[in-house]
């Protein structure tokens, strides 16, 4: 009898435990579904954040690539302009007492438009500095001499002088070249004193032009 009771008890235990477990699943199913739903939403949000970060990183890389290409292009353009603007001398000295200018500019007839523009600037009293730029060998010096010849012919100035102005200019030498061309002799040796003497001489030439 005890044996049957023990067997019945064991059978009941084996039957009840799975039933309780399944019942627990049924009771907790709503909670499990809710937890699963919440985790799914969190996963979606995290995925969206990752996608946004990746898109932002891709956009940033594209922007930096574009800016890098533009910066490289601008650098190349600047270097090209710098190279084109390099020349050893801005002007050349003439003989001590007189500048012998070219009789005409026939060899540079293609530069007529540029020459006319320079002459218009020379005639403009509001313009005080004119630059003729370009690579070596294109005729800058010849054009400058032609401008000087025409300016003398039109009597735009009382005197026309030319002097070498190097990248590291020797001011005393430049002053001497200008004085020799005028012609004019310095009575002082300092740069400041010679500059004042040249200024007075140029003003004197300007007064003579006004009187004529």
- Tell me, yes or no, whether 99 lies in a domain: no
What's the token pair of residue 29? 């199913």
The overall pTM is greater than 0.85: no
Cβ contact 123:156 at 8 Å: yes
202 & 118 share domain: yes
Q: What is the C-alpha to C-alpha distance for residues 104 and 116, in angstroms, rounded to an integer?
A: 14
Among 84, 116, 131, identify where a domain stops: 84
Spell out the SS3 assignment of the chain: CHHHHHHHHHHHHHHHHHHHHHHHHHHHHHHHHHHHHHHHHHHHHHHHHHHHHHHHHHHHHHHHHHHHHHHHHHHHHHHHHHHHCCCCCCCCCCCCCCCCCCCCCHHHHHHHHHHHHHHHHHHCCCCCCCCCCCCCCCCHHHHHHHHHHHHHHCCCCCCCCCCCCCCCCCHHHHHHHHHHHCCCCCCCCCHHHHHHHHHHHHHHHHHHHHHC
Among 84, 117, 150, identify where a domain stops: 84
Range of the domain at 193: 106-211
- Tell me, yes or no, whether 12 lies in a domain: yes
Residue-level pLDDT, tens digit, the chain, 212 residues: 445 445 445 544 554 455 555 555 555 556 666 766 777 777 777 777 777 767 666 766 666 777 667 777 767 776 776 666 554 444 544 444 444 444 555 545 667 888 888 889 889 889 888 888 878 777 788 888 888 888 888 888 888 887 778 888 888 898 888 888 887 888 888 999 999 998 888 888 776 554 44
Among 84, 114, 142, identify where a domain stops: 84
156 & 126 share domain: yes
- How many domains does the chain divide into? 2
In 3D, which of 171, 156, 172 has the Cα closest to residue 205? Answer: 156
- Tell me, yes or no, whether 89 lies in a domain: no
């Amino acid at each position: 009898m005890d044996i049957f009771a023990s067997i019945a008890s064991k059978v009941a235990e084996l039957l009840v435990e799975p039933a309780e477990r399944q019942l627990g699943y049924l009771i907790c199913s709503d909670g499990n579904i809710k937890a699963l739903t919440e985790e799914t939403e969190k996963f979606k949000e995290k995925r969206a954040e990752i996608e946004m970060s990746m898109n932002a990183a891709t956009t940033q890389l594209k922007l930096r690539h574009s800016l890098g290409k533009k910066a490289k292009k601008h650098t190349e353009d600047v270097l090209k302009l710098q190279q084109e603007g390099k020349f050893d001398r801005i002007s050349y000295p003439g003989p001590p007492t007189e500048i012998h200018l070219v009789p005409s500019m026939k060899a540079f007839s293609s530069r007529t438009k540029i020459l006319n523009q320079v002459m218009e600037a020379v005639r403009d009293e509001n313009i005080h500095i004119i630059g003729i730029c370009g690579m070596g060998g294109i005729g800058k010096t010849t054009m400058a001499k032609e401008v000087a010849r025409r300016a003398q012919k039109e009597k735009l100035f009382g005197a026309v002088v030319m002097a070498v102005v190097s990248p590291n200019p020797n001011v005393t030498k430049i002053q001497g070249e200008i004085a020799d061309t005028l012609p004019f002799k310095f009575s002082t040796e300092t740069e400041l004193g010679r500059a004042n003497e040249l200024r007075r001489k140029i003003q004197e030439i300007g007064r003579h032009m006004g009187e004529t």
